[in-house]
Amino acid sequence: MTDQAKDRVYIFDTTLRDGEQSPGATMTHDEKLEIAELLDEMGVDIIEAGFPIASEGDFRAVSEIAERSKNSVICGLARAQINDIDRCWEAVKHANRPRIHTFIGTSPLHRAIPNLTMDEMADRIHETVTHARNLCDNVQWSPMDATRTEHDYLCRVVEIAIKAGATTINIPDTVGYTAPRESADLIKMLLERVPGADDIIFATHCHNDLGMATANSLAAVEAGARQIECTINGLGERAGNTALEEVVMALKVRGDIMPYETHIDTKKIMHISRRVATVSGFPVQFNKAIVGKNAFAHESGIHQDGMLKNKETFEIMRPEDVGLAGTSLPLGKHSGRAALRAKLKDLGVDVGDNQLKDIFVRFKDLADRKKEVFDEDILALVTAAMTDGADHLEIVSLKVVCGTGGPAEATLEMEVGGEEKSCVMEGDGPVDATFKAVRALYPNSARLQLYQVNAVTEGTDAQATVSVRLEEDGKIATGQSADTDTVYASAKAYVNALNRLHVRRSKTGTDQKEISYKDVG
C-alpha cells in the first residue's frame, strides 16, 4: 500500500495536561514551554497544553504556549461549566489554531458526582458545548469514563454534542478498563448508531491500568477513530496514558497491516522522551518499548551474532528512526568546543553561546575524570547545566568519609541565600549523612518521596544520574543531577529540588492547582 492510500491519524498529545497531572510530574513554566515547542516541531497535530482554570500557573502556561505555537492546534481543557469554558478560551484564543476541549463524566459512577439526572446532564452538555462552539470553531467534547457508560446513553449524549457543534468526539477509557476488541466495538457502535457521526472525528483516549492502552488505541483506530490521545513516555496518572512513541512507531513499522499515517517526525522521539523524563522526574524504565535504554540493545551472544550478519534478524526498526545516533563516537579530553557543539547538534540539543560555554566547562571536568564521554554523558551534562544555576542554595564543597565500622560523616559547605554556611553531620551511610547536612544548613519540612540512582553508561567511572522528589504542603518538586561521584550527584539533586520548592514557595498560588479535573460539579 502506498503512503497516498493511507488514512491520516491525528496525534493529540496531552503530556502537558494529563501527563503533568500525574502526582510528582509537575513541570515549571519554562519546561512546559520547552516541551510544547518540541511537540510542535515533531509534528504533533494537537497539543493539550493544560487546564486553564486549574491554577494561575496553568492559565499562563496555556496562554503562552498558544501565543508561541506554530503549526499545532493548541487545546485547553474545561469542565462542563460556562466559567471554565470562558477561562479556557481566554487562554487558547491566542493560538493560530485554538481548540476548546470540554468534558463531563457520563458513566453512572461519574454522574453521581454532580448529582445530575440523565436528562439534566444531557441539557448541561447541550448548553456547554453550544457555548464553547460560539467562542471557537474547533471544539472537542469527551464523555469521561465512556467505556463504563451505558451504550444507549453514550449514543444519546454524543449525538447531542455533535448537534451542539462539537467537531471532535473523544472516547476516554478513563480508568484503563477496556480491552482491544471492546475498544474497537465501541467506536464501531458509535459510528453506526449516532446521526452525524460521519461528519466529525472520533478520538481514542486510553489509560494503561491493565497495560493495554496502546493496543486499545490501535484497535479503536482500526474501527474508525482518527485521533489518538497520548503522552510522551506514557506519562500520566496511575499507570499512565497511551505512549505516543508506541502508537506512532507501531503505525509506522506495521503499516502493512495498519494502513494509517501520522505526521510525526519520528527522529525527534528520543530527544523529547529524554527531556520529558528529566523535567517530569519520571525516568523511563530500561525495557520500555521504543525509548527504553535497552530497547535497541542486543546483548546476548546469539543476538549479537545475528545482528552482525543481518540487522533485521532481531531488529524491526532502526535506532536512527527514533533519533538514536547509529554509530556515535565518544568524545574525550582532547575534544574541543566545536566537537562538543557538533555532538549537541547531533543529539538534537539547541543551546546558546553562554550555555555552550557552561556545558563545555562541565564536559572538560568530566573528561578529566572519565576516559570516554558518551552521548548519554553529554545529555546528563546538559540536564545538569539546565537545572543548576544562580539559586537560593548552592553547594560550595562536600567531603564524605564512610566505610565499615561506624557512621558516615559529611562535611558540607553551602551558600544559603548568598551566605556561606558549613557543618559536619553523621548519618546511616554517605547519602543519609549528606542529606542531614543539607537539612542542618537549610532546615525545611520537605518530605523525601523518591530517591533514585541510575548509571548513565557502563563501567565504574560511569556518571550517576540521581532524581529526588520532595513534597512540602502539597507542593511537589523534583531535582536531578549527574556526576561520576554518586554522593555528590545525590547532594546536587536534593539541593535542586529544594531550590525548586523555594521558588514555588515564593510565588505561592501560581503553580498550585486549585482544582482537579475530577471536581466536576
Distances (CA, A) of 190 to 132, 212, 259, 318: 23, 21, 22, 38
18 contributes a contact to ligand KIV by CB under 6 A: yes
Q: Which of 63, 81, 107, 142 binds ligand KIV (CB under 6 A)?
A: 142
DSSP collapsed to 3 states, 322-337: HCCCCCCCCECCCCCH
Q: Number of residues in contact with Zn ion, rule: CB under 5 A?
A: 1
- Sign of the dihedral defined by the CA atoms of residues 313, 318, 319, 325, in that order: positive
Give 145 or 159: the residue with its C-beta nearer to ligand KIV. 145
Q: Which residues are annotated as a binding site for Mn(2+)?
A: 18, 205, 207, 241
Cα–chain-centroid distance for residue 71?
A: 20
**Nearest approach, Cβ of residue 172 and ligand KIV (Å):** 3
**Nearest approach, Cβ of residue 144 and Zn ion (Å):** 8
Considering only 170-178, 394-402, 409-417, 491-499, which stretch makes contact with ligand KIV by CB under 6 A?
170-178
Query: Phi-psi category of 429—alpha, beta or left, where left has phi over 0 and alpha has psi -120 to 50?
Result: left
DSSP, collapsed to helix, strand or coil, labels residue 10 as strand
Q: Number of residues in contact with ligand KIV, rule: CB under 6 A?
A: 10
Nearest-angstrom CA–CA distance, 511 and 504: 7
Give the footprint of ligand KIV on residues 420-459 (CB under 6 A). Answer: none
172 contributes a contact to ligand KIV by CB under 6 A: yes
Going by C-alpha positions, the residue among 462, 488, 481 that lies closest to residue 369 is 462
48 contributes a contact to Zn ion by CB under 5 A: no
Q: Which of 10, 12, 16, 18 binds Zn ion (CB under 5 A)?
A: 18
Give 230 or 269: the residue with its C-beta nearer to ligand KIV. 230
Q: What share of the chain is helix, strand, coil (3-state, %, to 5)?
A: 45, 20, 35
Q: Which residues are annotated as a binding site?
A: 18, 205, 207, 241
Contact 205, 172 (CB under 8 A): yes
DSSP collapsed to 3 states, 104-139: EECCHHHHCCCCCCHHHHHHHHHHHHHHHHHHCCCE
Q: Which of 12, 59, 89, 103 binds ligand KIV (CB under 6 A)?
A: 103
517 contacts which partner out of Zn ion, ligand KIV, none, CB within 5 to 8 A by kind? ligand KIV
205 contributes a contact to ligand KIV by CB under 6 A: yes
149 contributes a contact to ligand KIV by CB under 6 A: no
Considering only 13-21, 327-335, 444-452, 476-484, which stretch makes contact with Zn ion by CB under 5 A?
13-21
How many Å from the N-terminal Cα to the C-terminal Cα in the chain?
49
Give me 459's grid cell. 563501567
Considering only 64-72, 167-175, 272-280, 295-303, which stretch makes contact with ligand KIV by CB under 6 A?
167-175
Q: Which of 22, 69, 106, 174 binds ligand KIV (CB under 6 A)?
A: 174
107 contacts which partner out of Zn ion, ligand KIV, none, CB within 5 to 8 A by kind? none
Q: Which of 144, 276, 468, 470 binds ligand KIV (CB under 6 A)?
A: 144
| CA atoms in the 13 A half-sphere facing the CB of 441 | 30
List contacts with ligand KIV (CB under 6 A). Answer: 18, 103, 142, 144, 170, 172, 174, 205, 207, 517
List contacts with Zn ion (CB under 5 A). Answer: 18
